[in-house]
Structure 1
């Protein structure tokens, strides 16, 4: 880290946002503890996400286990394809992400999308060396390393399991149950916020790339032929796009457009992706992400999963680097189809036709009086295999005999014994496998982005002031309450009473009576508290109602409010119903040289 990243890491540790975990025992790379401020900020981000993507969208939320048995990840493909590129130093033994070494030391971008052999050649061509000891990596093999954390479920090793590398699989495997809660009617969405685990080769950039992290994911299940999003609601949202075509062009530029225009032009290939991009744009702006340091980048062909029709990342700029903070993928029916192939349950939805249809269906009616004596205990399995074959490939019954596989062995049956025929039936619908659109958000990375974009320095009273310009939506503490001086019981008692009143009204409040009022302001500025309330003699000794001063963090301006109106006015500012300028216009501004 350098520059912005170093300053942020120092502030985060000193003020209780986040710090390396288990440092008393030497620590372990890739694991972080969120302190009191960080845990509160992170919880606020999660609550804001839940409100926008679960509550307001009318979706279901679940909480699935973080450990699942091995067959789940065999079906999902994680056991075979959830890998990163590893290169090990022959001198010090340290392992590194080969693609990251290329991106950090050469002009090459998105090395992750390159074939393994090409990355190995590039490491040699660019004389890449070990960042730990300087050892030569040119002749070292680049291999695939699976990122899954393995464990055993129960005593011994008879039931292997894995810590989930994403929250999505917990949603997919429970689809047969969840669809019942949705009354087997599409479209519907399922969300989950929770921990995920990846055994990263080289964790880096603080909480940006860790081995344990929090995801907020939405799986939107749709009928691809019938269901469309409410695109009109976000059509006018302005976005900055970085399409794959522009990334391939040496002079490629961002596309400044609206969601509606991007979908109409085919820049964003699917309306559902456009819909969630539009929602995300507005959500990130509400949280306080700097929109001048934010973009949506389309995946290049080599990055995109083979089942994804289109995929975009929301990226934020921090310390000169672009980091992925969310992904938006059209996953098709890949996930549900894979689990349907491996699991013993129904991963389809019944789609009712507008009108009944007459169709021809191939059926069999095996003569069990023949199959029984010939195949004994296998007769029922042979009959079932014939039924499945008739449904899948009626042409297989065109000859005099038909062959099926039972228990890994072939069995041949006379076609007339199989009882094959074509029947005309009237059907009211059919079973379909829903398609999935997945917006996936990195909560930890969003927290990091908010802190980095909120970090500011200015001069107050000839001293450098550091403050976090956090949105009230996510700030860990809403209000700081102080007595102007801490040795006057009347002021201390009234400040404590105001603290109790504001907490009962639902505000997150801190009480501080240590040091000068200027120093107390500085401490709250540095942790991002939007407002400070100060109880002073002037406010308690007048003829009218008791008043306090309210100070705005970013500008340092103050206004005097009646205590009886304090909760209502603060709530209005927090919710955006009014502004601090509105308070200044409605009440008395305060001019002070007491460390404002």
Structure 2
């Protein structure tokens, strides 16, 4: 499906007004990489800061910043080397590569083509008679293969230390868990956040900054004890959400479920309380930053598209040009990540949870006779001993016969039970080592930025003239206030405008100062980049015996109100924070006819 009018208009505005544009265009450019211009960089930074405030600061979570390049063993342990693939089909005529599942979805009613195997995808391409989007050649009969999305590099000179650009920020948190847990006082539950770049060598980047090869993630890894820790849902239980669960997706006439977080968790529509908690927080946060909630939903992953380690997963999705795009994922990852790193790394990825009172328990233990195992099994003796210890813990009854078998590196080894020195001991334990489970809300910052721009883009008519503007939330708008002297040849007006701009900047506002062109043109320029308020300094405000006044103009309606200059900062602080509505300002002061 080609990009619709909304995306095309947005791309034109983004390039012209400095939100984002293709990078390295002076050298022909390269797909999947974008540069954020002055407006876009500011908007993106504000979105990141709003996320940090809500998911790190207000939740009392830790924040780290890990390297974007990590050594190969990290991704061997995490499974990315073997399973981080997309389906690729190459055109035999022009040699262009395309993502097979996207071709199928764009040309059929199938919404989850990524769940197909490569063989099934090839059959579907033939069945649909798909052709190469680049040259029009038939793709029927072309092999569909798995393509690993990670960027490979070498660390240091030569190729002795291979590394990869991280495909997600999460692994930086998991790898550093043994140290981070100490900062959390070895006490569950706790959360760790990270905002940073991730890299995926996408087969076919598309939709501007929606699918790129370098992007920014904001991720939270919530570590919990699955037996003890439950979230407090009281703050989100009444939050209304629009859900698209598996049960509805699988129906021919399936529909959305409008409910509250509390009801959805209680009824099992959302199976995990932690997932429900973060869906509730996300719903309120997306509304705060300006997502159109009439074009927003939470969709549950179908079994075939859910990661193998995830017990449940929901996506936050926004609608743009009739398509739904994923802008965040909420997954219950279990203990998969920490267990994998615990197996491969030389450190402890558990937390010691102390019991309320010591417990007396019976433990099956072995004390292998290494004097016998050593000569018999050589270098494998220590591994055999470890395997015997693991077997005693998992299956004590295996030691009831004269011989016991264990598997070491795929080899089945038989050991006499007497050599294992098996016994059952009574022990008093103060606690146990727990491998925490992980709940992961993962937000795509670039996709959120794109959603905000698309949902904020509006057109209307002012004084008989067409106007396009961005109705961005004051919480994230790249510029907060425009300051305009009505004319630039009156020193008193210019000096007051300079003072007001400086005062607003000192109060933490992003201010643009503009004295060029007609006041109407200046308003239009700021409307188009989403500046929510403009302050104009005119002769009426400095003449007479009363206090100095200025006008504030609100972007979306174009309404203006005259207020004392001394009240300007306080008023704008309330407007930006949302604690004051513009209607209240109009009621309190003098409305101005433009």
Give the alignment's TM-score, normalised by structure 1: 0.96
C-alpha deviations, 1:262-310, integer Å up to 9, x for none?
1111111111111100100000001111011001111111111122111
**C-alpha separation in 1, matches of 2:571 and 2:286:** 25
Selected match of 1:43 from 39, 42, 45: 45
Selected match of 2:499 from 481, 497, 500: 497
Selected match of 2:96 from 75, 79, 94: 94
C-alpha deviations, 1:345-376, integer Å up to 9, x for none?
11111122233222111223345665677778
Q: Within 5 Å, which residues of 2 pair with 1:123-272?
A: 123-272=125-274
* Alignment of 1:534 onto 2:536: yes
**C-alpha separation in 1, matches of 2:321 and 2:373:** 73
Distance 1:307 1:417, change over 3 A: closer
2:402 maps to 400
Say which SS state the counterpart of residue 206 (structure 1) adopts: coil
**C-alpha separation in 2, matches of 1:172 and 1:76:** 9
Distance 1:67 1:543, change over 3 A: same
**C-alpha separation in 2, matches of 1:46 and 1:578:** 24
**C-alpha separation in 2, matches of 1:237 and 1:42:** 26
**C-alpha separation in 2, matches of 1:368 and 1:124:** 62
1:59 maps to 61
Say which SS state the counterpart of residue 208 (structure 1) adopts: coil
Query: What's the offset of the Cα at 1:420?
Result: 2.4
Selected match of 1:485 from 487, 491, 514: 487
1:329 maps to 331
More displaced, 474-483 or 382-391?
382-391
Say which SS state the counterpart of residue 189 (structure 1) adopts: strand
Say which SS state the counterpart of residue 101 (structure 1) adopts: helix
Selected match of 1:25 from 11, 27, 50: 27
Distance 1:381 1:126, change over 3 A: closer
Distance 1:123 1:372, change over 3 A: closer
Say which SS state the counterpart of residue 513 (structure 1) adopts: coil
C-alpha deviations, 1:361-415, integer Å up to 9, x for none?
1223345665677778877666555444433443443343456677888776543
C-alpha deviations, 1:102-148, integer Å up to 9, x for none?
11111221211222222111110110011111010011111111101
1:284 maps to 286
Distance 1:243 1:413, change over 3 A: closer
Q: Within 5 Å, which residues of 2 pair with 1:379-398?
A: 386-398=388-400
**C-alpha separation in 2, matches of 1:388 and 1:431:** 15
**C-alpha separation in 2, matches of 1:184 and 1:25:** 51
**C-alpha separation in 1, matches of 2:378 and 2:241:** 67
Say which SS state the counterpart of residue 209 (structure 2) adopts: helix
**C-alpha separation in 1, matches of 2:386 and 2:140:** 58
2:569 maps to 567
Distance 1:370 1:89, change over 3 A: closer
1:458 maps to 460
* Alignment of 1:590 onto 2:589: no
**C-alpha separation in 1, matches of 2:248 and 2:277:** 22
Selected match of 2:84 from 74, 82, 91: 82
Gaps of 5+ in 2: none
Distance 1:91 1:382, change over 3 A: closer
**C-alpha separation in 2, matches of 1:559 and 1:380:** 81
More displaced, 196-205 or 406-415?
406-415
**C-alpha separation in 2, matches of 1:494 and 1:520:** 18
Distance 1:380 1:115, change over 3 A: closer
Distance 1:435 1:590, change over 3 A: same
**C-alpha separation in 2, matches of 1:368 and 1:281:** 59
Query: What's the offset of the Cα at 1:234?
Result: 0.6
C-alpha deviations, 1:522-574, integer Å up to 9, x for none?
00000000000011111111211111111111111111111111101110111
**C-alpha separation in 2, matches of 1:387 and 1:268:** 39
**C-alpha separation in 2, matches of 1:184 and 1:574:** 39
1:5 maps to 7
**C-alpha separation in 2, matches of 1:397 and 1:276:** 47
More displaced, 466-475 or 178-187?
178-187
1:108 maps to 110
C-alpha deviations, 1:163-193, integer Å up to 9, x for none?
0100011111111111111111111111100
Query: What's the offset of the Cα at 1:454?
Result: 0.4
1:117 maps to 119
Gaps of 5+ in 1: none
- Residue-pair matches, total: 592
Give the alignment's TM-score, normalised by structure 2: 0.96
**C-alpha separation in 2, matches of 1:159 and 1:9:** 41
**C-alpha separation in 1, matches of 2:303 and 2:418:** 51
**Aligned CA-pair RMSD:** 1.8
Q: Within 5 Å, which residues of 2 pair with 1:323-402?
A: 323-367=325-369, 386-402=388-404
